[in-house]
């Protein structure tokens, strides 16, 4: 069987490689593409089975490789003598890589072997973990903090979602992360809200830091590894890392779904628990459905929810907030691989009547078939003090009922050890200016 091949090769290698490909009887080079757009167009037109692509091809990124995969075109990476080229291709997800000076027989074997595989079997989970770990020869991240890597399959992802109306997604996410870190569990808090990221402000961090924008950009171009992620997600306390959100909501096209998926896969190998503060909107951008490759504003949220081991659905404890929660849960379940854990936040008798937790629980169970597993009471004084000082409940109001409920919720998350008093840590955010206030 003759295999159809596209090429997009740098000029310094093109003549020699084309000569060798031409000597292979079972391969038909159907098009020599001068640039990435031509390669993508030829792949989308169904002209080939395999594409031979140089590592230095201008514009090559994770999104373009995804387009080739969707067109059922397998990709072989072509590299020179630079080890960085191979590393970049590996991080982009290219599993089959051959040197530019390979002979005809080596090229033939690589192309035929790849064409006989499927996109899902080109590389195994174990190999992905090794390629994406960013380890040095001694098995440690190549950064300056000497933090030991985790098994890529070990880390758990917790997505925190809530409907429109500020039900307390960020407040819960930040305090959950703090409670986990206080027990000795390593945590990465990711602000993936493309509408109103505010984790940096809540923790008193500079929102001008690279954070999520830089991580997404690195994931897209294939330079995000474990060491880079550790550098972009600084510690606010031992065991508590934060990846701040987009500094401006109009930069949402920078955060793509595939980059988010890659980021979460990598984060699993960095910490025990990854907490993702998601945006409220779950629409699948239907107005853009005619162009499946266009950026999706809700892509990061949907990717995080789909990848999560645990999804927390947070609703405000008032009639409007509960109605929004109930209406949003069916759509949330469509995108989630796990049944959401319902958390009712800001519970107060002034709007729900006497015994508000019992009333809310009975009403949701009777009229909506929703079982509430956790309640967090309203405590405006404690939460206002936390915002003013850019600190957490465990520091500002350690004996409050709200803090006790958040701590109890944290203890139910998978793979979380029982809290140990000796592991108690206090969060000391960096100095930052928030509005007119300066926090330390």
Return all residues near 110 (Cβ < 8 A) that are at least 6 apart: 76, 96, 98, 102
What pLDDT score was predicted for residue 293?
64
| Per-residue pLDDT tens over the stretch 33-70 | 999 999 999 999 999 999 999 999 999 998 899 899 98
Distance (Å) of CA 174 to CA 10, 306, 367: 47, 21, 32
Cβ atoms of residues 233 and 241 within 8 Å: yes
Beta carbons within 10 angstroms of residue 41's beta carbon: 13
Best CA proximity match to 254, nearest among 302, 309, 299: 299
Domains of the chain: 3-123 (3.40.50.2300), 156-439 (3.40.50.300)
Contact 129, 153 (CB under 8 A): yes
Q: How far apart are the C-alpha atoms of 60 and 87, rounded to whole Å?
A: 14
How far apart, in whole angstroms, are the C-alpha atoms of residue 80 and residue 298? 38
Task: Specify whether the backbone of 174 is left (phi greater than 0), alpha (psi in -120 to 50) or beta.
Answer: alpha
Can you give the pLDDT at residue 133? 45
What is the per-residue pLDDT across 97-127, written as a single tens digit (0 to 9) for each? 999 999 999 999 999 998 887 544 444 433 4
Q: Is residue 281 pLDDT above 60, yes or no?
A: yes
| Cβ partners under 8 Å of residue 263, min gap 6 | 190, 215, 216, 219, 224, 229
Q: Which residues contact 339 (CB under 8 A, 6 or more apart)?
A: 311, 333
SS3 content of the chain, % helix, strand, coil (to 5): 40, 15, 40
Of 377, 373, 372, the residue nearest 413 (C-alpha): 373
Place of tokens 């003013």: 388
Residue 93, pLDDT score: 87
* Mean pLDDT, the chain, whole residue set: 85
Confidence of residue 209 (pLDDT cuts 50, 70, 90): low
Rounded to whole angstroms, the Cα distance separating 5 from 48 reads 5
- Residues whose CB falls within 8 Å of the CB of residue 155, separated by 6 or more in sequence, listed in order: 267, 268, 269, 270, 271, 272, 273, 274
d(CA 392, CA 175): 6
Q: What is the pLDDT of residue 245?
A: 94
The confidence band for 415, taking pLDDT boundaries of 50, 70 and 90, is low
Cβ-Cβ contacts under 8 Å for 301 (sequence gap 6 or more): 161, 192, 193, 194, 278, 279, 281, 282
For residue 200, the model assigns a pLDDT of 93
Kindly report the number of other CB atoms within 10 A of residue 83's CB atom. Answer: 9
Hey, which residues does 343 pair with through a beta bridge?
314, 374
Q: Is the pLDDT of residue 187 over 80?
A: yes
pLDDT digits (tens, 9 = 90+) for 252-275: 998 989 899 999 999 999 999 999
Residue 186: pLDDT band (50, 70, 90) is very high
**417's tokens:** 């050890």
Residues 51, 63: Cα–Cα separation, whole Å: 15
DSSP state of 368: T
Q: Which residue has the higher pLDDT, 405 or 285?
A: 405
Tell me the pLDDT band of 292, cut-offs 50, 70 and 90.
low
Residue 141 above 50 pLDDT?
Answer: no
Q: Is the pLDDT of residue 143 over 60?
A: no
Share of the chain above pLDDT 90, in %: 70
180 membership: H or E segment, kind and range: helix 169-182
pLDDT on residue 287: 52
The pLDDT confidence band at residue 337, using thresholds 50, 70 and 90, is confident
Q: Provide the strand spans (E) within 327-431.
A: 341-347, 374-377
| pLDDT higher than threshold 70 for residue 345 | yes
According to the model, what pLDDT value does residue 206 have?
74
Q: Is the pLDDT of residue 137 over 50?
A: no
The contacts of residue 363 (CB under 8 Å, 6+ apart) are 322
Full-model pTM: 0.77
pLDDT of residue 83: 87
Average pLDDT for 280-293 = 69
Nearest-10 crossing angle of helices 257-267, 125-132? 90
> In the prediction, which pLDDT does 122 show?
42
Structure tokens at 128: 């992905």
**434 pLDDT band (50/70/90 cuts)?**
very low
Distance CA 426, CA 408 (A): 18
Query: How many residues in total does the chain contain?
Result: 440
């Amino acid at each position: 069987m003759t295999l159809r091949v596209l090429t997009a090769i740098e000029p310094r290698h093109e003549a020699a490689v084309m000569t060798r490909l031409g000597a292979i009887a079972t391969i038909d080079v159907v098009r020599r593409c001068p640039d990435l757009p031509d390669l993508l167009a030829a792949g989308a037109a169904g002209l080939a089975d395999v594409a031979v692509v140089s590592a230095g091809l201008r514009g090559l990124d994770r999104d373009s490789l995804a387009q080739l995969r969707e067109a059922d075109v397998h990709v072989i990476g072509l590299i020179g003598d630079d080890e960085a080229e191979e590393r970049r291709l590996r991080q982009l997800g290219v599993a089959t890589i051959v040197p530019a000076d390979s002979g005809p027989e080596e090229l033939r074997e690589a192309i035929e072997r790849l064409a006989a595989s499927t996109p899902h079997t080109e590389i195994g989970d174990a190999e992905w973990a090794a390629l994406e770990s960013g380890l040095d020869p001694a098995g440690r991240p190549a950064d300056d903090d000497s933090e030991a890597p985790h098994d890529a399959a070990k880390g758990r992802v917790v997505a925190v979602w809530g409907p429109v109306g500020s039900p307390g997604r960020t407040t819960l996410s930040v305090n959950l992360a703090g409670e986990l870190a206080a027990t000795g569990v390593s945590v990465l808090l990711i602000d993936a809200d493309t509408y109103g990221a505010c984790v940096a402000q809540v923790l008193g961090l500079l929102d001008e830091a690279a954070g999520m924008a830089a991580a997404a950009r690195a994931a897209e171009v294939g330079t995000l590894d474990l060491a880079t992620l550790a550098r972009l997600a600084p510690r606010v306390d031992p065991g508590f890392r934060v990846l701040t959100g987009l500094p401006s909501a109009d930069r949402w096209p920078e955060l793509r779904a595939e980059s988010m998926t890659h980021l979460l896969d990598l984060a699993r190998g960095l910490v025990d628990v990854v907490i993702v503060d998601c945006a409220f909107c779950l629409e699948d951008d239907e107005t853009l459905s005619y162009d499946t490759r266009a950026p999706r504003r809700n892509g990061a949220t949907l990717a995080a929810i789909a990848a999560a081991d645990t999804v927390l659905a947070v609703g405000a404890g008032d009639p409007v907030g509960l109605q929004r929660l109930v209406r949003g849960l069916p759509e949330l379940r469509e995108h989630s691989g796990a049944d959401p854990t319902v958390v009712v936040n800001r519970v107060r008798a002034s709007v729900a009547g006497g015994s508000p937790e019992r009333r809310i629980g009975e009403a949701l169970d009777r009229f909506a078939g929703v079982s509430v597993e956790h309640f967090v009471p309203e405590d405006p004084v404690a939460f206002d003090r936390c915002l003013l000082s850019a600190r957490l409940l465990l520091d500002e109001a350690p004996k409050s009922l709200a803090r006790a409920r958040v701590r109890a919720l944290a203890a139910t998350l998978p793979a979380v050890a029982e809290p140990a008093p000796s592991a108690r840590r206090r969060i000391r955010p960096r100095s930052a200016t928030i509005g007119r206030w300066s926090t330390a």
